[in-house]
């Protein structure tokens, strides 16, 4: 068994793991230590991982089944549907719609009935400065609410809507229409119990339109409060990428935001695998009727 090192990255969440080389198979006891660190710290950083797509996929599969990125087929890596290119390099000779992925606080694929369990992002190219990603701890966001607010949220469901993905209006209209067709609005519980840790986390984001049973006008102030509260500085880690970093995050108890704080004429090229989550959502009309 390799001895792993764990160094915390912020008070809110995140830890750097040392002593793991993802170009090699990871033995079971090392993997168990990594998984425990993931549950404890929510976001893990592995530096210096110059891995191939096969190695990226092999490690990701240890954590669960992988999404095939069917809603974004143009940006799958050739021959590797499990790998999504988040890139400002041209894809198929055209500007990439994924160059502005993640520009509002979100949890991956929350606008589907199977919100992602986790994501593993490997940095291949980066601008000389910026292109950072921020993460926030949604357990802390929940635990620091008043007991009265927790009671109000306990039975609420939130409507997650792909139309609220930042910048979706600037994407190829045909592809956007397809994304909306594939992902009609879906409702998820606002308070989510993590299936592995048993802890409660807030599950809202800037991709939520309203609460089930409430109007948008009634929902908006509460949603704005929850998002502001959840992204308080003390819950947040800001990652400054290095080439070959691999970050893995747990979408069930974090949100993240990819910052546009860089010169877009410089390449930023990232490869992501996405772990399929358990089906917790209901189509909005179905939830509304309940």
Give the catalytic positions in this structure: 106, 108, 256, 272
- Residue whose CB is less far from ligand SIN, 83 or 270: 270
CA–CA separation, 261 and 265 (whole Å)? 12
Beta-carbon contacts of 46 under 8 Å, excluding residues fewer than 6 positions away, are: 16, 17, 20, 22, 245, 246, 247, 248
| Parallel/antiparallel/unpaired status of strands 191-193 and 269-275 | unpaired
Nearest-approach distance from CB 256 to ligand SIN, in angstroms: 6
Q: Residues 226 to 265: which contact ligand SIN by CB under 6 A?
A: 256, 258
CA-nearest of 117, 133, 109, 2 to 61 is 117
Q: What are the two backbone dihedrals, phi and then psi, of residue 269, each rounded to the nearest 5 degrees?
A: -130, 115
100: three-class secondary structure by DSSP: helix
> Exactly one of 85, 96, 133, 137 binds ligand SIN (CB under 6 A); which one?
133
CB 12 within 8 A of CB 235: yes
Among 272, 273, 282, 284, binds ligand SIN (CB under 6 A): 272
Q: Token digits for 213?
A: 């049973």
Minimum distance from residue 84 beta carbon to ligand SIN (Å) = 8
CB of 108 to ligand SIN, least distance (A): 6
- The contact mask relative to ligand SIN for 168-207 (x = CB under 6 A, - = no) is ----------------------------------------
Shortest distance, CB of residue 134 to ligand SIN, whole angstroms? 9
β-bridge pairing 15-18 and 246-250: unpaired
Backbone angles phi, psi at 288, to 5 degrees: -65, -40
Positions 73 through 132 that interact with ligand SIN (CB under 6 A): 86, 101-102, 108, 119, 121
Give how far the C-alpha of residue 132 lies from the chain's centroid of Cα atoms, to the nearest Å. Answer: 14
Residues contacting ligand SIN: total by CB under 6 A: 11
Q: Measured in Å, how far apart are the chain's first and last C-alpha atoms?
A: 50
Q: Would you say 160 or 256 has its CB closer to ligand SIN?
A: 256
Which residue sits closest to ligand SIN, CB atoms considered? 102
Least separation in angstroms between residue 241's CB and ligand SIN is 8
Backbone angles phi, psi at 200, to 5 degrees: -90, 140
Of 256 and 282, the one with the shorter C-beta distance to ligand SIN is 256
Residue in the structure block whose two tokens are 């080439």:
243
How far is it between the farthest Cα atoms of the chain? Answer: 55
Shortest Cβ distance from residue 151 to ligand SIN (Å)? 32
Name which of 107 and 210 has its Cβ closer to ligand SIN.
Answer: 107
Among 270, 271, 280, 287, binds ligand SIN (CB under 6 A): 270
If phi over 0 gives left and psi between -120 and 50 gives alpha, with beta otherwise, what is residue 223? alpha
9 or 214, CB closer to ligand SIN? 9
* Closer CB to ligand SIN, 45 or 121, in the complex: 121
Note the residues at the interface with ligand SIN (CB under 6 A). 86, 101-102, 108, 119, 121, 133, 256, 258, 270, 272
């Amino acid at each position: 068994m390799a001895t792993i090192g764990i160094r915390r990255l912020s008070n809110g969440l995140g830890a750097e793991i040392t002593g793991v080389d993802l170009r090699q198979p990871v033995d079971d006891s090392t993997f168990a230590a990594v998984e425990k660190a993931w549950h404890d710290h929510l976001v893990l950083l592995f530096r210096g991982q110059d891995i191939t797509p096969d190695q990226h996929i092999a490690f990701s599969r240890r954590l669960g089944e992988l999404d095939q990125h069917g809603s974004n087929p143009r940006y799958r890596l050739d021959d590797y549907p499990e790998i999504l290119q988040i890139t400002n390099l041209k894809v198929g000779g055209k500007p990439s719609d994924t160059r502005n992925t993640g520009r509002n606080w979100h949890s991956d694929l929350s606008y589907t009935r199977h919100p992602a369990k986790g994501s593993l992002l490997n940095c291949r190219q980066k601008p000389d400065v910026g292109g950072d990603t921020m993460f926030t701890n949604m357990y802390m966001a929940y635990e620091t609410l008043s007991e009265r607010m927790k009671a109000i949220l306990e039975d609420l469901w939130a409507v997650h809507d792909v139309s609220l993905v930042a910048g979706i209006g600037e994407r190829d209209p045909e592809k956007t229409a397809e994304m909306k067709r594939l992902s009609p609005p879906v409702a998820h519980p606002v308070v989510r119990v993590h299936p592995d840790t048993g802890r409660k986390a807030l599950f809202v984001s800037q991709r939520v339109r309203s609460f089930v049973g409430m109007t948008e006008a009634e929902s908006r102030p509460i949603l704005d409060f929850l998002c502001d509260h959840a992204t308080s500085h003390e819950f947040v880690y800001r990652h400054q990428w290095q080439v070959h970093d691999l970050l893995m995050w747990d979408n069930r108890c974090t949100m993240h935001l990819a910052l546009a704080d860089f010169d877009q004429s410089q390449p930023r090229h990232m490869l992501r695998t996405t772990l399929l989550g358990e089906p917790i959502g209901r189509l909005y009309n179905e939830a509304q009727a309940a």
